[in-house]
Amino acid sequence: MRKFDVRQLTLAAMVAALYAVLSYFGNIFGLTFGPVQCRFSEALCVLPFLFPFTTPGLFIGCLLTNLLSPVGPVDIVFGSLATLLAALWTSKMPNRWLAPLPPVICNGVILGAMFSWYEVGFGPGFWGLFAWNAFTVALGELAACYVLGSLLLTVLPKVESLRRLMPQPAKAGRAPSES
């Protein structure tokens, strides 16, 4: 098991808190839950590309947010696992342009299926509803991750105190400051 230093643990905890706060804020406008959603907090899902140790923070932040989900335990489990899977996959992306893609795919597929099952079960109409729900969730993820998340990927490597926390690139194609 990998050990985190105090700075990494602190940043992961801050990401968890920020994810939950941004999600609760978005809930005021009705954007956080449901098949048509655009969580501002999902922009944070690109952070594992720069800071792989933020993955547990994203998972915990999403878990805390989903405790208020109208879908209940299904969203707590599957919604949180979708974010965990997306964060793990994002940390493995080869460049910053692909880093926002895992949250779009994972949440579109997993949440699309979850909402469809919640609404009609696996009976007639599931696949049509799944296609629609996957599309709407992925569209919200595209907005959050490729617009707001790309801003984070551009700005954060320029912050000197954060640059020290970024792992050194193992291969030439994955520099944090890559444009």
Residue 28, pLDDT score: 77
Q: What is the mean pLDDT of residues 10-18?
A: 95
Whether the Cβ atoms of residue 137 and residue 35 lie closer than 8 Å to each other: yes
pLDDT of residue 171 exceeding 50, the answer is no
Rounded mean pLDDT, 112-134:
92
Look at residue 92 and tell me whether its pLDDT is greater than 70: yes
The rounded percent of the chain whose pLDDT value lies above 70 is: 91
Residue 31: band (very low, low, confident or very high) from pLDDT cuts 50, 70, 90: confident
Write the burial class of residue 135 (CB in 10 Å: 0-12 exposed, 13-18 middle, 19+ buried): middle
pLDDT on residue 169: 61
Q: How many CB atoms lie within 10 A of CB 169?
A: 12
